Structure 1
């Protein structure tokens, strides 16, 4: 209930009891006062007293409600710190009132992996951590001459006018990091909380509140990228790169609606006969300002923004529609491979989401889902349950970039997968690098023992192909045989391709 409604209800309750008081007090006075004129005067004074007290009470309650409403508007309910809006307003006032040589430090602090803490230890422990952290941050400033705010679920901001050296406040913020690191968390006794900090300085880095906070946020982004628990001061060179990344993050949300995504398909071949065994659908994004964006860049952004399931949905529907519409699935292309993210497997009903994406594909055994080794090992038990369900639905599963993660043979044995793809970093060095050759031989031998199909990706030379053929690799994929191509080129390629040994090296200009 809002403070104003509370004030009105309290006044109404007072009025009810007041009327009852007047009613019964009148009867009492009639019994003890004989003089009618005196009785009338007493009743009049009593009425005015009641009206005056009612007015004073209503004024007091509404004034308190107004203060409480203002407090709710200005403050975070949990930590009692300023919120983002008020922090920005107050910082703008500071900047307008600042003199020529004044400097203001603005720091944005983020609790690393707070979501995991909240999930593991519970929301109560998470709230306690936020409150304790807010108190430590407030101690880093100049008391009442600092602005401290909670600007996000796990993010804080502090603005400090520099009355001491810049290094003095940097050390105080590092002290906050150390103290938060030692904070105990109920349910996670071995956990040490890390805080990442980004710092910007007025007027060197920005001249207004919003731009100053953006600079601090960019520095925070750099601190996160180099690892948890870091402190970084805004750097203009890095800031431009992060600014472009922030623009990409913003534009990514509209990319699907604006038809900026498109698919290309790279054929996969039997290593010995070189017949086509399938294609891998690869997503491409052409940004209207920056041009083509590398897949690893925008996929990472999509995962951070929670958009990856929408992108997976687009890839599945678009690939199935293009291949079935052009009658390529089946004899010409026996198998379609699609890359999926680890986040597509979060949630108990993740498999149902996949099934909805596959409408339009008559034979689900023609579809193969590719997950990176890291994605599977990140949450092995949950991934194993999901993969079991996908296998029962006749969906094939491939471990992509195999050899780059940390999975053990025992884990691999427990996974219902059909295929492993040897990472291109190993293929690029064969047959000249003996270590890479031994790794590839080991993966092929191990997979053969476990009855798994082996695909080598990134094959770019005839020597690499010959080595893989000699070692008994099942399938190959790479520019030496076919580059990624749009659907129209794929149709032409399939119509004219003959499974004869290819001896054509793709030039570096054709690689995408």
Structure 2
């Protein structure tokens, strides 16, 4: 439930100065069988600065919409066919999660009986039809203001400024309802300050309160940091921290990879708790124990989820404190395995355990190797050679991928420069750039790594995915133009699996597109796939783009692609990705050249 979204402030006390701004963010739901009236009212309220509206003409859908998207305030017509406003008001006030929503009744009736009945059912205020716009604005502002302060008193902890248990449980109820509806997951983390009672008894209750305030600030700040956001993809986690009671804090993680996200966040929180706290001139050191339970694996109700989270916290304390534990042993083990892998990845960067393999790219006209795609591998000291399948996802979530990507592009370009100097040919090298590398603060470092190799950048092709171009298209174009100015060409990787829009092929400064192997697998046997591939090649050539097909596994696929004019092909039919020395021998044999170096 929104509770006026007042918790968007850093601290609830901020609403004294910012309340008039925050009120404009309120979600306003109107239920009325007169759509023209709703349009007029919305237009007026938009002029007043309000921006979030849900309009419902069919009153039979009202409760379903209310449960799915609970508003901050409801404007309710009384006289509607099939389901009238009285019935909706009765249901709203009897629903545990909706009963606190203020309801302004819209009515053309002037008799006392109608108003009395609406008041008995829980109406907050009245507006007589026809609606006076100025009066509507005043009633709306006053009602929302009262709600905001009521929410602050009812749902926030006066000591720390964080949401309290009531607010947290309210959110958890809604999170579980949505998880059930969308078959999603929800995680609850419970953080207990280790030996808080000893500190409280030694330094006194006032010092204990100061410590709790500093802990609350530190926890809120911890989940704002970009490294946590890069793990989870969430930039509003701080909104879901609550102080339940005493020295207990909780975090709600609705949706997504809840168990995995909570493991990363738990690590972060344990880390920030270890810094010194200065309380009335005393240096205080504390640790925390964190318990985590996940719906639906560990529990299916609010009460059982909270109970199991507490049990996991107690287990963490028994394990020696200053650690986190999942209620589920399997999830616990998997989360720790991933964190262990992240730790090993960090070490691998320092120890340079990565290697680059090269998959040949064949020119269909000359049948010779014209270049290669650089693909990273991890030479794990215990597990052997690992493909990206085993570690790229973790590298992305841990924010390590830009560093790995910079090393790969430097090494690939450096190696290609060596081959060129040896006379292997003017081979072109393709390197995939991750979405994290494509943002402004990383792309400059990526390009600097490539340039430091000494290779002429005209031999470099940077591959990006379709999804990286969507959203802020102007920014993407600026980044791509910046890359092109330094010499490299640009290629769209896995074309056909995303937006595949002709408009972006025209807008973006591209040189090449790469047809995803999913379309190649069934050619030439499937007519539909043949038609798609043929159309992609024709479209690309009409835009003066080169076409690469990947995933070639047999001679029939090769013959088809050569027949429709595909420019470059790669796949296991020619060669798997090879270590540098084997790739060199492959090129020498296929291109029948001699190394002069």
Match of 2:379 among 281, 286, 289: 286
For residue 120 of structure 1, what is the aligned residue in structure 2?
A: none
Match of 1:256, SS state, is: helix
**Change over 3 Å in CA distance of 1:462–1:257 after alignment to 2:** same
Q: 2:279 aligned with 1:171, yes or no?
A: no
Match of 1:300, SS state, is: helix
For residue 424 of structure 1, what is the aligned residue in structure 2?
A: 517
1:231-246 → structure 2 map (5 Å cutoff) = 234=328, 236=330, 238-246=331-339
Q: 2:412 aligned with 1:319, yes or no?
A: yes
Q: 2:227 aligned with 1:134, yes or no?
A: no
For residue 208 of structure 1, what is the aligned residue in structure 2?
A: 318
CA contact (8 A) 2:490 2:510 kept: yes
Q: CA deviation at 1:372?
A: 1.7
CA contact (8 A) 2:360 2:570 kept: yes
CA contact (8 A) 1:82 1:148 kept: no
Q: CA deviation at 1:334?
A: 2.6
For 2:555 and 2:510, the matched residues in 1 are separated by 29
Tell me which moved more, 350-359 or 453-462. 350-359
CA contact (8 A) 1:81 1:148 kept: no
Q: CA deviation at 1:353?
A: 4.5
CA contact (8 A) 1:401 1:421 kept: yes
CA contact (8 A) 1:339 1:370 kept: yes
What is the aligned-residue RMSD (CA, Å)? Answer: 4.1
For residue 503 of structure 2, what is the aligned residue in structure 1?
A: 410
Match of 1:303 among 391, 396, 401: 396
CA contact (8 A) 2:440 2:479 kept: no
Deviation per residue, 1:120-139 (Å, 9 max, x gap)? xxxxxx86x35xx515xx2x
For residue 196 of structure 2, what is the aligned residue in structure 1?
A: none
Match of 1:369, SS state, is: strand
Deviation per residue, 1:133-192 (Å, 9 max, x gap)? 515xx2xxxx66x8325676997997699xxxx968x32488x9xxxxxxxxxxxxxxxx
For residue 24 of structure 2, what is the aligned residue in structure 1?
A: none
Match of 1:148 among 228, 249, 253: 249
**Change over 3 Å in CA distance of 1:83–1:477 after alignment to 2:** closer
For 2:503 and 2:221, the matched residues in 1 are separated by 50
For 1:205 and 1:495, the matched residues in 2 are separated by 62
**Change over 3 Å in CA distance of 1:350–1:468 after alignment to 2:** same
**Change over 3 Å in CA distance of 1:342–1:465 after alignment to 2:** same
For residue 447 of structure 1, what is the aligned residue in structure 2?
A: 540
**Change over 3 Å in CA distance of 1:418–1:329 after alignment to 2:** farther
**Change over 3 Å in CA distance of 1:80–1:389 after alignment to 2:** closer
Tell me which moved more, 342-351 or 70-79. 70-79
Q: CA deviation at 1:465?
A: 0.2
CA contact (8 A) 1:76 1:82 kept: no
**Larger Rg over CA atoms:** 1
Deviation per residue, 1:465-506 (Å, 9 max, x gap)? 001011111110011112211111122222221489xxxxxx
Match of 1:248 among 341, 345, 348: 341
CA contact (8 A) 2:371 2:427 kept: yes
Tell me which moved more, 399-408 or 460-469. 399-408
State TM-score, norm by structure 1.
Answer: 0.59
1:91-170 → structure 2 map (5 Å cutoff) = 113-115=233-235, 117=236, 129-130=239-240, 133-134=241-242, 138=244, 147-149=248-250, 170=301
Q: CA deviation at 1:394?
A: 2.0
For 2:479 and 2:386, the matched residues in 1 are separated by 31
List alignment gaps of at least 5 residues for structure 1. 1-62, 85-109, 118-125, 177-196, 217-232, 501-512
For 1:304 and 1:411, the matched residues in 2 are separated by 28
For 1:212 and 1:459, the matched residues in 2 are separated by 52
1:254-403 → structure 2 map (5 Å cutoff) = 254-327=347-420, 332-347=425-440, 350-351=443-444, 353-377=446-470, 379-403=472-496
Deviation per residue, 1:400-424 (Å, 9 max, x gap)? 1111112421122111111111111
Deviation per residue, 1:187-223 (Å, 9 max, x gap)? xxxxxxxxxx99584599878356996442xxxxxxx
Greater RCO (Cα-Cα under 8 Å, separation 6 or more): 1
List alignment gaps of at least 5 residues for structure 2. 1-200, 223-229, 252-264, 271-288
**Change over 3 Å in CA distance of 1:173–1:328 after alignment to 2:** farther
Q: CA deviation at 1:336?
A: 0.9
CA contact (8 A) 2:413 2:460 kept: no
CA contact (8 A) 2:407 2:449 kept: no
**Change over 3 Å in CA distance of 1:111–1:319 after alignment to 2:** closer
Tell me which moved more, 291-300 or 271-280. 291-300
State TM-score, norm by structure 2.
Answer: 0.51
For residue 433 of structure 1, what is the aligned residue in structure 2?
A: 526
Q: CA deviation at 1:326?
A: 3.7
For 1:352 and 1:167, the matched residues in 2 are separated by 46
Q: How many residues align?
A: 351
Q: CA deviation at 1:345?
A: 1.9
CA contact (8 A) 2:292 2:309 kept: no
CA contact (8 A) 1:371 1:398 kept: yes
